[in-house]
Amino acid sequence: MTEQGLTTLLADASVEDVCRTIQRDGGVIVKDAVDSETLQGLWADMQPHFETTPYGEDPFSGTKTRRISGLVGKSRHLFPVLDHPLVNGAAEHFLAIPHPMWYGDMKISVPANYHIGVTQVIQIHPGEGFQPLHRDDSVFQWEHPTYGREARIQVMLAMSDFTAENGGTRVIPGSHAWDDERAPSQDEAFSTEMTAGSILMFIGSTFHGGGLNSSDAPRTGLTFAYDLGFLRQEENQYLAIPIEQVKTFPESIQRKLGYAACPPLMGWVEADGKMAEPMTLLQENGQARSLSDLDAVDANGNKIATTS
Ligand SMILES: O=C(O)CCC(=O)C(=O)O
Ligand SMILES: [Fe+2]
């Protein structure tokens, strides 16, 4: 366990390095993970929303903090961040874990997938205090030690520099391993210091919270979560983004919004008289992809149909 804040890796780090560090410490920082063109695009797209978004009204939201949500519908510059190979690699590693189950007398292995759980730009203004330390998997009332798997991986992109003075996210390294009896304390938390374009990634069981801003400028971060595909999304993506707009998005983003079903059966919708993937509803003359096409495998790794 580290005695320091989280480790910072460079953007050319491997998925294995990222996952090993998260597994050990509960989180990791990746420097310069997002290019300046994407960052500038995000700033431009968010600008009008800063002007119309009020401060929060409670200590968790922050009474000197602005939160802009529903980001997938507000900025296509978010797409490369959602598709970032290190983020997707970490989400695959921690969330898309096959689960064994019986199908009649056959022991099968069914993979999970992941979808977007929440999207938010969080702008902490001068004078804001510490946000209470918390675990983001609390929304699922998740137990700790976890049920052998994580529920969420959270990403925080620094849109402006994060420092100890301006409210850089406070993280307690190693706290993902704590049980539910142990309280978090600011004495054990470290501020995330990273330059704009860098990302902080942590798992849902890691204690963290927004920092106190004693500087004279706002701190701006863009956060999103990937959640286990069979858990309800914290921010309702189906209601946040009109389906006609979702139809214009690339397939990878549609799937991440939750229009892919999670094997074996979660999230289906009737189409052509079949239990089909919601993706079918997004395609012009879409052929219903029956859930029996999903990817369960038997003990020998052979693909099997789970319904029919
Ligand atoms: O703004 C931050 O640095 C963290 C915010 C956070 O953890 C939350 O709102 O859940
Ligand atoms: Fe949080």
Q: Which residues pair with 298 in a beta bridge?
A: 108
Contact 245, 151 (CB under 8 A): no
With a cut of 60, say whether residue 264 has pLDDT above it.
yes
State residue 1's pLDDT score. 41
Q: Residue 295 — very low, low, confident or very high, per pLDDT cuts 50/70/90?
A: low
Is 296 a residue whose pLDDT tops 70? Answer: no
Q: Tell me which residue has its CA closest to atom 7 in ligand 1.
A: 209
Residue type, 9: L
Q: Measuring from atom 4 of ligand 1, which residue has the nearest CA?
A: 210
Is the predicted pLDDT of residue 286 greater than 50, yes or no? yes
Residue 300 in this model has a pLDDT that exceeds 70: no
pLDDT of residue 176: 97
Determine the average pLDDT of the residues in 228-241: 97
Residues with CB under 5 A from ligand 2 (ion): 136
Ligand with smallest separation from the Cα of 223: 1
Residue 292 has pLDDT above 80, yes or no: no
Kindly list the distances between the CA atom of residue 244 and the CA atoms of 73, 236, 254, 275, 284, in Å, as whole numbers in the listed order.
11, 16, 12, 22, 11
Q: Whose CA is closest to atom 10 on ligand 1?
A: 136
- Does the Cβ of 229 fall within 6 Å of ligand 1? no
* pLDDT band with cut points at 50, 70 and 90 for residue 291: low
Share of the chain above pLDDT 90, in %: 83
Say whether pLDDT at 23 is over 90: yes
Q: How many CB atoms lie within 10 A of CB 149?
A: 12
Position 62 confidence tier, pLDDT thresholds 50, 70, 90: very high
List the chain domain ranges: 8-241, 261-308
Work out the average pLDDT over 93-103: 93
Mean pLDDT for 281-302 is 68
Across all residues in the chain, what is the average pLDDT?
Answer: 93
Mean pLDDT of 3-23: 95
- If pLDDT is split at 50, 70 and 90, which confidence band does 294 have? low
Starting from the edge strand earliest in sequence, which strands make up the sheet with 27-30, in order?
Answer: 8-9, 27-30, 199-203, 152-158, 219-228, 114-124, 65-69
CB of 136 within 6 A of ligand 1: the answer is: yes
pLDDT above 80 for 8: yes
Q: Tell me how far apart the alpha carbons of residues 274 and 80 are, in angstroms, rounded to a whole number.
A: 33
Distance 170 CA to ligand 2 centre (A): 10
**Mutual angle of helices 85-95 and 15-25, in 10-degree steps:** 50
* Position 2 pLDDT exceeds 60: no
Average pLDDT over residues 212-234: 98
pLDDT above 90 for 274 = no
Q: Which atom of ligand 1 is nearest to the CA of 192?
A: 3
Q: What average pLDDT does range 189-216 have in this prediction?
A: 98
The pLDDT assigned to 255 comes to 95
User: pLDDT value at position 191?
Assistant: 98
Is residue 169 in contact with ligand 1, taking CB distance under 6 Å? yes
pLDDT for the residue numbered 305: 58
Q: Would you state the pLDDT for residue 308?
A: 42
pLDDT in tens, 117-171: 999 999 999 999 999 999 999 999 999 998 889 999 999 999 999 999 999 999 9
Query: How much distance in Å is there from the Cα of 169 to the middle of ligand 1?
Result: 7
Domain 8-241 is found in CATH 2.60.120.620 = yes
**pLDDT tens-digit map of 31-53:** 999 999 999 999 999 999 999 99
- Integer-rounded Cα radius of gyration of the chain: 20
Is the confidence at residue 306, as pLDDT, over 70? no
> What average pLDDT does this structure show over 225-247?
97
Average pLDDT, stretch 8-21?
Answer: 98
Closest ligand 1 atom, CA of 62?
A: 9
Best of 125, 156, 205, 207 to mutate for ligand 1, by most ligand atoms within 8 A of CB?
156
Ligand 1 site, residue 208, Cβ cutoff 6 A = yes
